[in-house]
Amino acid sequence: MTVGFLQNIGWRAEALAWDSFQLSLQSMGLERASAFGSAVLRRIGPMTSVQKVARINMQRCFPDASKPEIDRLLDRMWDNFGRLVGENPNMRHYRPEVYDQRGEISGEDIVLDLEKQGQPYVLVAGHFANWEVMGAAIAKLDLNCNITYRHANNPLVDQRILASRHAYGIKLLTAKGGVGAKQLLSNLKKGVSVALMNDQKMNDGIAAPFFGHDAMTASGPAKMAMRFGAPIVPIGVRRLGGTRFRVTFYDPVPHSTLDDKTAALLETVTRINQWVEARIIEAPEQWFWVHRRWDKSIYRKDAGSSSSTSAGSI
């Protein structure tokens, strides 16, 4: 048997498992699936290896928090993340024609006014609450905006994810990577806005302060915005309770006016990081804490030994 044949069999098996998982959660309905995901992950999440990752991240961001405070935050984090897992197969309940039943939108005039002016913008976001709802809000407003996404390694699963996003209204999607970056630049040049996540580690990014520690941060959104003179508009989502959310568009992050281009880029990226920090502090249980945001060496240490110099308690 060839490697290609075996890989194809593996992809099909994964796709079958994906379909079964999706259908089982869809059969529950949105509210029940959300509650089910919460119950499951609150139980099994603490037994996974990423529990330590999340604890270290929390300790670095909230150095004055006590162990019981961190433990409570971890439990609330698993509640939110479990709900997200249950909700994502049911995103049809947030398509444009029914979005208002469970979703609110605030600050939309910021982007609607820019679109009236024909001014493309760069939306920057983070992994908060159920971040898929931000795409649903963009679809609800019918914004002329290209959303980036990280494609799945399995092309069959990737096709299913794309189809589900199109089903709840997202029109323009671009995979991350070199080809995707060129497409985003081309779109901005044509007047099409772009939306990117900007809160995870990017090894080929730049070191910018994040909760008092340098963190490798994607510089692409800031670079594109500065190159085309496009406003950087942050967009966030907050879980209001159960399966109800509010998506908020925030005032643009100002571009740095420093003459030195390298220093200007760092200052702009730092401002984006500061916006992410502020959103985390507002609702810490709703951020994606299980991501290794800092250098790998940080996570090889004992979780109880992590310390910081900033940010305060929860």
Domain ranges of the chain: 3-305
Instruction: Tell me how long the chain is.
Output: 314
pLDDT tens for residues 136-179?
Answer: 999 999 999 988 878 888 999 989 998 888 888 888 777 666 66
**Mean pLDDT within 101-120:** 97
Q: How far apart are CA 186 and CA 85, in angstroms?
A: 34
Sign for the CA dihedral angle at 283, 288, 289, 295 comes to: negative
pLDDT at position 183 over 50: yes
Give strand pairing partners of 244.
Answer: 241
pLDDT tens for residues 200-232?
Answer: 999 999 999 999 999 999 999 999 999 999 999
The mean predicted confidence, pLDDT, of the chain is 92
Q: How far apart are CA 300 and CA 312, in angstroms?
A: 24
CATH T-level fold of 3-305: Glycerol-3-phosphate (1)-acyltransferase (3.40.1130)
pTM: 0.91
Residue 313's pLDDT is 62
pLDDT at position 196 over 50: yes
Residue 3's pLDDT is 57
Of 245-254, 279-288, 297-306, minimum mean pLDDT range: 297-306
